[in-house]
Amino acid sequence: MHYPEHNPLGKFFNKMATSFEKGLPFSCYRKPGEKEIRSIYQHNDALNRAVTFKERGFVFAPFDLEKGAVLVQPDDVQTISLDTLATPAKEKVHEGESGKLQHINLVEQGISEIRKGHLEKVVLSRRISVERSKGPIDIFYTLLSLYPQAFCYLFYHPKVGTWCGATPETLVQISNNTMKTMSLAATMPYQEHKEPEWGSKEIEEQQLVSDYIRVKLQPLMEKLKVGDAKSTRAGNLWHLKSKVKGTLLPETDIGEIITSLHPTPAVCGIPVSAANTFIKKHEGYDRGFYTGFLGELNLEKEKEISLFVNLRCMELHPNSAFIFVGGGITAASDPESEWTETQNKSLTMFNVL
Ligand SMILES: C=C(O[C@@H]1C=C(C(=O)O)C=C[C@H]1O)C(=O)O
């Protein structure tokens, strides 16, 4: 599908449509709260990898980093700035109840493992299969218009697939030796004119993530500050978030920061390796790039990165899509509420289909 050429956005989008037709990799994205949309085009279909994170381009990394992070080489970088985007009319797509029993069983298994003392927290997820008729670029446009505060992206590589999403979570941003990240956890549905009231379960769950990030980053930073937890809105949801800021030690390697943060307990669990083993054994599907990370790597300058956790995302197939959703399980979790939480999270993507 092509867009009207007289309009700069139409031209900008048509270049992506051409890359799809030619089978050439690209990534197009907008950072949280920004007006600028950027596309990175690779002029061949090679499957390049980011290994040391000293590479330059757009990185697209799976949950399981051992499977290899993909790098879109920046042969051509284009940007466009947009003030407002019209919100396209949407058909109401409903999330079904299929998979409920399976997810509840999975959560029960997680809780039982936690009660046995093997784990403190584990993030358990599921994959929802949906039909779709809207094209990837139209879906991306809707993401941009509905979620101005998220990192919105569309990624395509002929040897990897097509993914899109609108994530509220930063993995790590580094610029001029200053590092910023966040501790994000706990979820409640958004209600207009109503501030969320968090219970001790949610507060403790988010605190676990903050403590983990502090321990991981302390040895790599000159100064590190973890802010207080505050409510933050992500589409139809509230989360609890603490801002984390630090100054890099002169010898700190960026690759070490990335690998010490990924996967955080916000997407895996505590302890990480036991949670990871539990996920691989019980989740029953391969997460692929869901809960991996993505973003700019040394694009404008060396040692400058802007990476996000791949949440609220979809893998697009010719007439269908997989939506991925999960949530953190602790000893205090209730399986039925955890199911509802994943249903609520799935709306971020259902709303753009
Ligand atoms: C795992 C997801 O989200 C993560 C889990 C959260 C939770 O457990 O409440 C909240 C935000 C994210 O850190 C997801 O959206 O799929």
Q: Give pLDDT tens digits for 270-309.
A: 999 999 999 999 999 999 999 999 999 999 999 999 999 9
Predicted TM-score of the model (pTM): 0.96
From the CB of 261, is ligand 1 less than 6 Å away? no
Q: What is the pLDDT of residue 235?
A: 87
The 10s digit of each residue's pLDDT in 245-254 is: 999 998 899 9
Cβ–ligand 1 contact at 184 (below 6 Å)? yes
Task: Indicate whether residue 187 lines ligand 1 (CB < 6 A).
Answer: yes
Q: CA 103 to CA 338: how far, in whole Å?
A: 9
How far, in Å, CA of 28 to CA of 224, rounded? 32
Q: Is the pLDDT of residue 241 over 70?
A: yes
Quickly count helices (H) and strands (E) in the chain.
7, 19
Name the residue at shortest CA distance from atom 6 of ligand 1.
185
Distance 120 CA to ligand 1 centre (A): 16
Q: Residue 33, SS3? A: coil
Which pLDDT belongs to residue 6?
Answer: 75
Instruction: Find the angle CA(276)-CA(97)-CA(103) to the nearest 5 degrees.
Output: 20
Q: Which of 35, 321, 318 is nearest to 152 (CA)?
A: 35
**Is this complex's ipTM strictly greater than 0.90?**
yes
What separation in Å is there between the alpha carbon of 327 and the centre of ligand 1? 5
Q: What is the per-residue pLDDT across 8-60, written as a single tens digit (0 to 9) for each? A: 888 999 999 999 999 999 999 999 999 999 999 999 999 999 999 999 999 99
pLDDT at 110: 98
What pLDDT sits at residue 305? 97
- The answer for residues whose C-beta is within 8 angstroms of residue 55's C-beta and 6 or more apart is 48, 49, 71, 297, 298
Side chain identity, residue 182: M
| pLDDT reading at 312 higher than 80 | yes
Q: Which atom of ligand 1 is nearest to the CA of 345?
A: 15
Q: Tell me whether strands 69-72 and 36-41 are parallel, antiparallel or unpaired.
A: unpaired
The answer to whether 328 and 119 are in contact (CB under 8 A) is no
Distance 64 CA to ligand 1 centre (A): 17
b/e map of 10-48 (b: 16 or more CB within 10 Å)?
A: eebbbebeebbeeebbbbbbbbbeeeebbbbbbeeeeeb
Q: What is the pLDDT of residues 156-180, one digit of tens each?
A: 999 999 999 999 999 999 999 999 9
Q: Is the pLDDT of residue 86 over 90?
A: no
- 345 Cβ closer than 6 Å to some ligand 1 atom: yes
Q: Residue 8's pLDDT is what?
A: 85
Report the pLDDT averaged over residues 135-164.
Answer: 96
Domains of the chain and CATH, by start: 8-81+99-350 (3.60.120.10)
Asked whether 102 and 282 are in contact (CB, 8 A), the reply is: no
Ligand 1: distance of its center to the CA of 232 in Å? 13
